Amino acid sequence: MTVDKGSDVGPGCLFCRIAAGEAPATILYQDQEMVAFRDSHPVAPIHVLLVPRKHLVSVAEAQEADADLLGRMMLRAADIARKERLEGDFRLVTNSGPQAGQSVYHLHFHLLGGRRMRWPPG
Ligand code: AMP
């Protein structure tokens, strides 16, 4: 299967444009290396996306040099969950590749909460 990975940094990548303030989003948090915003089609009462400003396609394509960034993003997700009053009860997930359901090819974590989650995921 041919997948359009939207690998162009800048105009070709939706999440690069959101991170740059060039496309609209409800931003909850941002710093020099990441941005968190509400998902436009939430699948849970709380559905936040965390993206690195650096254009990484997916976790599968991340490098050792990205390890600290990815770790800080997970800790930031937990902090956002606290601010969203999820009381430590949430799911943090990243889809990598078409079979896993990735539709935007700029690495992102989904922070989901506010309802009971099922396992295994569909
Ligand atoms: P994934 O399918 O794991 O790649 O997740 C992509 C997510 O991005 C989906 O949950 C979409 O609802 C969300 N999404 C797509 N476009 C936007 C947008 N413009 N603003 C916020 N979220 C978006």
The predicted model scores a pTM of: 0.94
Atom of ligand 1 lying closest to residue 37 CA: 21
Q: Is 74 exposed, middle or buried (0-12, 13-18, 19+ CB in 10 A)?
A: middle
The alpha carbon of 85 and the centre of ligand 1 are apart by a number of angstroms equal to 22
pLDDT tens profile 13-45? 999 999 999 999 999 999 999 999 999 999 999
Of 55, 106, 108, 110, the catalytic one is 108
- For residues 23 and 80, what is the distance between their CA atoms, to the nearest angstrom? 22
Say which residues have a Cβ less than 8 Å from residue 66's Cβ, sequence separation at least 6. Answer: 52, 54, 56
Residue 10, pLDDT score: 55
The alpha carbon of 58 and the centre of ligand 1 are apart by a number of angstroms equal to 14
